Chain A
Amino acid sequence: MRKIYIPSKITSAIDGYELLLRLHSEFEKTNNEEIHFSFLNVVWFEANLAAVLGAIIEELEWRGNTVKIVETDNYSRINNVFFRNGFFPHHGIYIDVISGGNTQISYKMFLESEDQLYNNYIQSELLNNSGFPKHSPRLGAEIKRNIFELFENARTHGKCSHIHTCGQFYPHYRKLNITIVDTGKTIVSNVREHLNNNLGSCECIDWAMKMNNTTKAGNTPGGLGLGLIFDFINLNKGKIQIVSSNGFWELKEGRVRKLDLNFSFSGTIANLEFNLDEHLLYHFADEVKDLNNIF
């Protein structure tokens, strides 16, 4: 049996991703073993990043490992969000009474073919959730569209076994964070194959985020989804982070930051932060009223 202690603080900053990817790398060659992830030292674990931990655990299980989450008592006394979002129960850890608000978007896993279930999930977790801060219908629709564009991207490009997703509202800050993780083919690998070169990992992500760039082949055009998300996040003053292989790419407050990390992830992590402030509503410069003769 191997036990690893999860670090005390996991956030969606570069060092937070480095720590998660380091966990992933620790077990790169571990097969058919019992692995314990200990929460003994954990003080803060950004709730939506449960999706990343879930994907790491799933990958270990594929390789015949048995993974258990242990020593959660201390952390559970500080914060019960991993019970509220279903992550601990998913791994067999329960408590009698779950108190607290309704600010979580549940941790779930979806198969590539389960787009309808994902529809239902977004419907119930976002649309029908009383904990979701009030916001305009237009903003809500754009947020959902972005989430689906990203989900479709993971489904059609990752060719993965499961897509892991989890989210969290922060009513005080009027923010919504959602993380979508796939353990399929990385953006880096897709872009390198498509361009037939050995571009750096973060440069591959940068290429994929540009409007009109696509690695799709065949008769269905692509290259709009990620570009639209880029535009929306810019206007919304939100944040998007992509980690794929060892590439890190972030758009925050209009600035792109990209670098190659010390550790690698065998899939893609997409972390979105939306701003729910009404005054950040915007209009598309090219809004179309007339759809006649559009072709």
Chain B
Amino acid sequence: MLMQVLIKDKISKRFAVSTEDGDKIYHIIIGNFLKKEKVTLDFEGITLMTTAFLNAAIGQLYSNNQYSSEFLNNYLSLINVEEQDAHLFRLVVKRAKEYFANKDGFEKNSNDSIYGDD
């Protein structure tokens, strides 16, 4: 089964900017994954997007090692993304992988960079 999710309908707006709206999409995605359904996120009509929205909608998928990259590449696809927004997906995915790979490591590195230990 393939579920096509028209973002602008699910969040009732053309600006995909808030964390809360990102959360809505995240829950739709995992709801379908639980049913072993593939999901296509359709960004048709979305005129503005932020990393705050994408962190919630997509970044969260990497939490607690819920889903592997292989699984996500197989079960989640993106269509009708504006060219100007495409780079945000790569940033968010890269950031989420690093963030969840080692939360503690991030905090240590942050401290070290301030105090000049690295």
Contacts and interface: CB of A to CB of B under 8 A. Distances in A.
Interface of A: 115-116, 119, 138, 141-142, 144-145, 148-149, 151-153, 155-156, 194-195, 197, 199, 203, 207, 210, 212-213, 219-225, 228, 284, 286-289, 291-295
A152 B19 contact: yes
14 contacts: A145-B49, A148-B17, A149-B50, A152-B19, A152-B52, A194-B107, A195-B110, A197-B111, A207-B114, A212-B98, A224-B55, A228-B51, A294-B78, A295-B72
A152 B13 CA distance: 16
B13 A145 contact: no
B96 interface: yes
A115 B50 CA distance: 13
A219 B63 contact: yes
Contact of A220 (B48, B50, B60, B90): B60
Nearest to B70: A295
Interface string B80-102: 01111011011111011011100
Nearest to A293: B73
Given A119-B13, A149-B50, A212-B98, A287 B86 contact: yes
B108 to A, nearest CB: 11
B90 A288 contact: yes
Nearest to A127: B47
Nearest to A146: B50
B5 interface: no
A169 B92 CA distance: 32
Nearest to A287: B87
Nearest to B71: A295
Nearest to A219: B63
A141 B84 contact: yes
B17 A288 contact: no
Interface of B: 13, 15, 17-20, 22-23, 47-52, 55-56, 59-64, 69, 72-73, 76-78, 81-84, 86-87, 89-93, 95-96, 98-100, 106-107, 110-111, 113-114
Contacts of A152: 17-19, 50, 52
B84 to A, nearest CB: 5
A194 B103 CA distance: 13
Contact of A141 (B48, B51, B73, B114): B48
Contact of B89 (A116, A197, A291): A291
A286 B51 CA distance: 16
B50 A148 contact: yes
A221 B50 contact: no
Contacts of A119: 13, 15, 17
A151 B15 CA distance: 13
A191 to B, nearest CB: 9
A223 B50 CA distance: 12
Contacts of A141: 47-48, 82, 84
A287 to B, nearest CB: 6
A139 B18 CA distance: 21
Contacts of A144: 48
B49 A295 contact: no
Given A225-B52, A293-B73, 19 more contacts: A119-B15, A141-B82, A145-B48, A148-B48, A149-B50, A155-B18, A155-B19, A207-B110, A212-B95, A220-B55, A221-B60, A221-B99, A224-B51, A224-B91, A287-B86, A287-B87, A289-B86, A295-B61, A295-B69
B76 A221 contact: no
Contacts of B89: 288, 291, 294
A199 B55 CA distance: 28
Contact of A115 (B20, B86, B111): B20
